[in-house]
Amino acid sequence: MTDVLAISLNGMQQDMARLERISMNMANAATPGYKREVVASLPSNGAAFSDAMQAAGAVAGDIRADTPGITPAMLLIQSDTRPGTLRTTGQNLDVALATPGFFEISTEAGLAYTRQGSWQLDARGRLVTSQGNPVMGVGGEIVLSRPNPVIDAAGQVFESRPGGGVDSTPVAQLKVVQFDDTRNLRRMGEGLMTTDQVPTQLRDSDVQLRQGFLENSNVNSMQEMAQLIQSMRHFESMQRIALGYDEMIGGAVRKLGELS
């Protein structure tokens, strides 16, 4: 494969990867706590484009390489961890983080982490996600006897009294953790992320929770649409280059055939 075709094909593969991330961001623009994914090109370090294309062909169809966030088509894919705005819901079991950090969730695959605080109570009185995964507290699963708890800014959970008011002693405290490097978080779906890192539990003074609120996604629809148009136009340009070069080679071959 010539370098011209390698360059154009590599560019089209990168555009396809960008389009996939843009479409995922747009689909989750209204998902609470969703963090958009951004795609950037990596420098080739002087390597031939044909070598890069051969590496890409070895794992064709897999958008991610073994290194977290790195694709064989010389792309870096990372999550934009900037917080979204908060919107009020008035629901006692909706909680938003106004500071950096993640809630810890127990799943069948192990511990997972999320900023999506839209929860409910299951038949056993456990605080769970919409998929039924228990929300973890500092002492383990959080079990409530009544559906209208009061959660303070530090994440302490108080039971509400039937006649009004709340108990003075918290029954649990939400576990909020942080990671040294959020770039290695891997998406599990349903707003959950996992990682091989060991999280650090945040101190009460570093946590700021808002009960009755949810965090909006940090997707800017207008920005995503602009990137969509840019990626589509770049893909079309690379396609025209490949077709033009192919026609030029075909014409040259025909001329050589006429001379022989």
Task: Give the count of beta carbons closer than 10 Å to the beta carbon of residue 64.
Answer: 15
| Residues 38 and 152 occupy one common structural domain | no
Predicted confidence at residue 2, as pLDDT, reads 65
| Residues 202 and 226 occupy one common structural domain | no
Tell me, rounded to whole angstroms, the distance of Cα 48 from its chain centroid.
32
**Average pLDDT of the residues in 2-21:** 82
| Residues 63 and 136 occupy one common structural domain | no
Is the model's pLDDT at 8 over the cut of 50?
yes
Task: Give the count of beta carbons closer than 10 Å to the beta carbon of residue 45.
Answer: 7
Write out the residue range of the structural domain in which residue 151 sits: 86-215
Whether residue 4 contacts residue 37, with contact meaning beta carbons closer than 8 Å, is answered with no
Question: Three-class SS of residue 157?
Answer: strand
**Average pLDDT of the residues in 226-237:** 91
| Residues 31 and 122 occupy one common structural domain | no
| Residues 193 and 139 occupy one common structural domain | yes
Q: Which of 61-65, 80-84, 252-256 has the highest mean pLDDT?
A: 80-84
| Residues 59 and 124 occupy one common structural domain | no
Predicted confidence at residue 46, as pLDDT, reads 46
| Residues 59 and 159 occupy one common structural domain | no
| Portion of the chain with pLDDT greater than 90, in percent | 43
- The model's pLDDT over 130-180, given as tens digits with 9 standing for 90+, comes to 999 999 999 999 999 888 899 999 999 999 887 777 888 899 999 999 998
| Residues 68 and 166 occupy one common structural domain | no
Predicted confidence at residue 166, as pLDDT, reads 80
Is the model's pLDDT at 87 over the cut of 80?
yes
- The model's pLDDT over 27-43, given as tens digits with 9 standing for 90+, comes to 999 889 898 988 877 65
Predicted confidence at residue 176, as pLDDT, reads 95
| Residues 231 and 171 occupy one common structural domain | no
| Residues 91 and 199 occupy one common structural domain | yes
Bridge partners of 197, per DSSP, are: none
Task: Give the count of beta carbons closer than 10 Å to the beta carbon of residue 120.
Answer: 15
Return mean pLDDT, the chain: 83
Q: Distances in Å between the alpha carbon of 222 and those of 29, 40, 225?
A: 11, 19, 5
Ranking 38-42, 144-148, 221-225, 235-239 by mean pLDDT, the lowest is 38-42
Residue listed under structure tokens 């064989």 = 72
| Residues 243 and 211 occupy one common structural domain | no
Is the model's pLDDT at 249 over the cut of 90?
no
Domain count across the chain: 2
| Residues 211 and 224 occupy one common structural domain | no
Predicted confidence at residue 194, as pLDDT, reads 92
- The model's pLDDT over 176-190, given as tens digits with 9 standing for 90+, comes to 999 988 877 888 888
Predicted confidence at residue 54, as pLDDT, reads 52
